[in-house]
Amino acid sequence: MLIEKYGIPQISTGDILRKAVADGTPLGKEAKIVMDSGGLVPDSVVIGLVKERLAQDDCKKGYILDGFPRTTPQAEELDNVLAGMNAPLDTALSVDVDMGDLMKRLTGRRTCKSCQQMYNLHFSPPQKDGVCDKCSGELYQRDDDQEATIKNRLEVYEKSTAPLIDYYGKKNILKSVEGTGSIDDIFNKICSVLGS
Ligand SMILES: [Zn+2]
């Protein structure tokens, strides 16, 4: 919805990484071992991929970074890269979600093997169990959406990612919204804090 409204791409390091894993590149192979156990892929790998992506033409008007940075060192490195491009970040957006709700979102997530469309068994289930509405592909649970892995991810989040709230708060670019309600509600709240 944000892509459509602002006419800018969403850059998900998860997607970039999964593509590298699927393509079986050297960096992809390295990343897979870490991702499967819910850990964080080395910064040198991630920042390299992000830097390449931001240099592409469709990012000239702006972009949405999704899932990156996840640690203070990554945020500092990103700031360095962006300073070099003379284009600092405008906004860091924090979407605050209740822990029980978050577990449902993560454990309920299913992805289409063919077209990567995402579903959630609790919030946005497919019409037919285990089958993609769009392409009839098979739905599966990603390795990093398994419960034990999610617990590890949440611990990693508390330790490594939560400090970014302070990091961007101090730079006065942090905007927060409550991540409750329907997708439309959350979208409207985000548009409202973005002030456009
Ligand atoms: Zn599909």
Dump pLDDT digits (tens) for 28-66. Answer: 888 888 878 877 788 888 888 888 888 889 999 999 998
- Report whether pLDDT(196) > 80: no
Q: How many other CB atoms are found less than 10 A from the CB of residue 175? A: 17
The answer to whether the beta carbons of residues 117 and 132 sit under 8 Å apart is yes
**Cα 147 to averaged position of ligand 1 atoms, centre (Å):** 23
For helices 26-36 and 43-54, give the axis angle rounded to 10 degrees. Answer: 120
List CB-based neighbours of ion ligand 1 within 5 Å: 112, 114-115, 117, 132, 134-135, 137
Give me ligand 1 centre to Cα 111, in Å. Answer: 8
Identify whether the C-beta of residue 41 lies closer than 8 Å to the C-beta of residue 17: yes
CA dihedral 99, 3, 118, 43 (to 10 degrees): -70
Å from CA of 138 to ligand 1 middle: 7
Task: Say if residues 69 and 164 touch (Cβ distance below 8 Å).
Answer: yes
Most confident of 136-140, 143-147, 182-186: 136-140
Give 85's pLDDT tier (boundaries 50, 70, 90). Answer: confident
This prediction's pTM: 0.70
Cα–ligand 1 centroid distance for 2 (angstroms): 22
Query: Is the pLDDT assigned to residue 171 strictly greater than 90?
Result: yes
CA of 4 to the centre of ligand 1 (A): 21
Asked if the model's pLDDT at residue 119 lies above 80, the reply is: yes
**Distance in Å, CA 193 to ligand 1 centroid:** 33
Determine the distance separating the centroid of ligand 1 and the alpha carbon of 167, expressed in angstroms.
Answer: 38
Whether residue 117 is predicted with pLDDT greater than 90 in this model: the reply is: yes
Question: At 127, is the pLDDT very low, low, confident or very high (cuts 50, 70, 90)?
Answer: very high
